[in-house]
Amino acid sequence: MTTNSSPQLWLYDTTLRDGTQREGLSVSIEDKLRIAKRLDQLGVPFIEGGWPGANPKDVQFFWQLQEDPLKQAEIVAFCSTRRPNSTAATEPMLQDILAAGTRWVTIFGKSWDLHVTTSLKTTLEENLAMIRDTIEYLRSQGRRIIYDAEHWFDGYKHNPDYALQTLEAAIASGAEWLVLCDTNGGTLPHEIGQIVQDVSSHLSFVISQESMKKDDGQRTIPQIGIHTHNDSEMAVANAIAAVMAGAKMVQGTINGYGERCGNANLCSLIPNLQLKLGYSCITEDQLTQLTEASRFVSEVVNLAPDEHAPFVGLSAFAHKGGIHVSAVERNPLTYEHIQPEQVGNHRRIVISEQSGLSNVLAKARSFGIDLDQLKAEAKQILQRLKDLESEGFQFEAAEASFALLMHEALGGRQKFFEVKGFQVHCDLIEGKETSNALATVKIAVDGKNILEAAEGNGPVAALDAALRKALVNFYPQIATFDLTDYKVRILNGYTGTAAKTRVLVESGNGRQRWTTVGVSTNILEASYQAVVEGLEYGLLLHSQAETAVKASS
């Protein structure tokens, strides 16, 4: 827990620039604006919006934020130093930076002599001039500068004297932050910590020299920041090592998105720094929004959330083994390193063939079912669970199906409808890329038989449409149900086309999501099981909500 006396760390999010360099990730202007506003709510002080002038999208993004500014965060424009053998005042890309209208600008420059001579194809002295000229020009235009020392750690290890000269050039020109970048992601934590300490000591000495003093004999030492990549699976550890060595700014991305293997994951860094090390990053209330922010960003960029991500993943506080569940029910400290609610997550008890009776009892309570006094029924449910999982069912990923199983075992499974039978017919027409499917279903509701048919672009879509068409007049709320995901897995592929298939169907109603499962050697039968239970569980949720409203009124 942080207090008013907790040391301050400055978070710098680069999801909208470095994060979008991840392979397969693409965002629109609207997406970038939504993410920026969500990060603003989270309390991130610096949000890097992109490189104005590099593409029309980033130009428009900064223009729109001028019209509708963020509430508390500083939006930051990103750019390189000027080109060799030119001047900053005549550099077109710096005019785009000024037009972006941001108070803060991040300029990156070369720290590694190899890059100066090989990539820029210029002299080491000209690179220093590029750093000085660019920062001085932007400072003359009223901008505040964060200097990203690109490839800093590799440069320092190969030629420490020259790497330090690049930082001295940035200091002399007026940079307020010096961010040391592990651009290749190959440095280890012990190296990071030692080098950050060395740099801090060197800069203190440089600033103390008379030639670097202000007229009053005082000069503020620029603060050090850290920017790490995850190519060695060390980005978070390296960022923490830098902070422990004195860095005051931490750069990273939500969910660790970034080029190649990604950047330091702010969703892991923030709770580690704040809850474990006592630094002040964001408020406690904002910290409880972390899980939701992580999932919001993954939804906007259209990438599946990492369910096993630390702190914010669906499985971060999931307990599967019976011994674990029994212990955590008595005292969560036995198998949880923090309270899930501190980061906006929650504890989950997972049901599977490895479960013990404690899993069943805990899972039942999460569904509002008290089995403490019904040990015989609880054991029957556990045995039924193990029998079905041996046949290929998977209830840890289909908790809605397990809830229905419990209600049935206890004799309380509500019969909203009964499927009497179904048929699916597919037409594959030569020369056409898609096939048409027609499904016919016969169901009974309150003793009344209904026969309906519907078309779809495939057999499962047609079956789902026919079921909804038959039921919507009896249960209008079905119109709000959506099938949000559909997964198929072959369980015994060695049997070829006769293999058993497991189908997982995720459904939602705009507020909640639930998953159901079906297993059969017939993929349509497996799909039917999962789709039908998805509709049934949605109706159960609606019925429970109505009951709760009536009870409270």
pLDDT tens-digit readout, 459-482: 889 999 999 999 999 999 999 998
**pLDDT, tens digit, for every residue of 402-429?**
889 888 888 888 889 999 999 998 877 6
Among the residues of 245-335, which ranges form H helices? 266-271, 284-287, 290-300, 322-330
Statement to judge: residues 257 and 370 lie in one domain: no
Mean local confidence (pLDDT), 144-159: 98
Question: What's the pLDDT score for residue 434?
Answer: 62
User: Three-state SS for 380?
Assistant: helix
Single pTM value for the model = 0.74
Phi-psi region of 510 (alpha: psi -120 to 50; beta: other; left: phi over 0): left
Statement to judge: residues 35 and 177 lie in one domain: yes
Q: Which residue has the tokens 């404690």?
A: 358
Question: What's the pLDDT score for residue 125?
Answer: 98
| Residue 487 domain flag | no
Full domain range(s) for residue 470: 417-474
CATH number of the domain within which 237 lies = 3.20.20.70
Do residues 484 and 507 touch, judged by C-beta distance below 8 A? yes
Statement to judge: residues 323 and 268 lie in one domain: no
Among the residues of 318-374, which ranges form H helices? 322-330, 357-366
Statement to judge: residues 422 and 362 lie in one domain: no
Work out the mean pLDDT of the chain and round it to a whole number: 89
Rounded to whole angstroms, how far apart are CA atoms 222 and 149? 13
Residue 278 has pLDDT above 80, yes or no: yes
Residue 217 has pLDDT above 50, yes or no: no
Mean local confidence (pLDDT), 94-107: 97
Rounded to whole angstroms, how far apart are CA atoms 332 and 213? 55
Percentage of the chain with pLDDT > 90? Answer: 64
Question: What's the pLDDT score for residue 1?
Answer: 46
Contacts of 324 (CB under 8 A, 6+ apart): 334, 335
Lowest mean pLDDT among 137-141, 328-332, 400-404: 328-332
DSSP state of 372: T
Beta strand pairing call for 513-520 and 501-508: antiparallel
**Nearest partner of 221 among 179, 176, 181, judged by Cα:** 176
**Nearest partner of 102 among 70, 130, 136, judged by Cα:** 70
Lowest mean pLDDT among 84-98, 152-166, 270-284, 488-502: 488-502
Statement to judge: residues 243 and 357 lie in one domain: no
Mean local confidence (pLDDT), 375-391: 78
**Nearest partner of 12 among 293, 225, 178, 231, judged by Cα:** 225
Statement to judge: residues 351 and 427 lie in one domain: no
How many structural domains is the chain composed of?
3
Among the residues of 121-159, which ranges form H helices? 124-140, 152-158
Question: What's the pLDDT score for residue 216?
Answer: 46
What spatial distance separates the first Cα and last Cα of the chain, rounded to whole Å?
A: 39
Residue 190 has pLDDT above 90, yes or no: yes
Statement to judge: residues 59 and 143 lie in one domain: yes
Residue 94 has pLDDT above 50, yes or no: yes
Residue 209 has pLDDT above 80, yes or no: no
CATH number of the domain within which 458 lies = 3.30.160.740
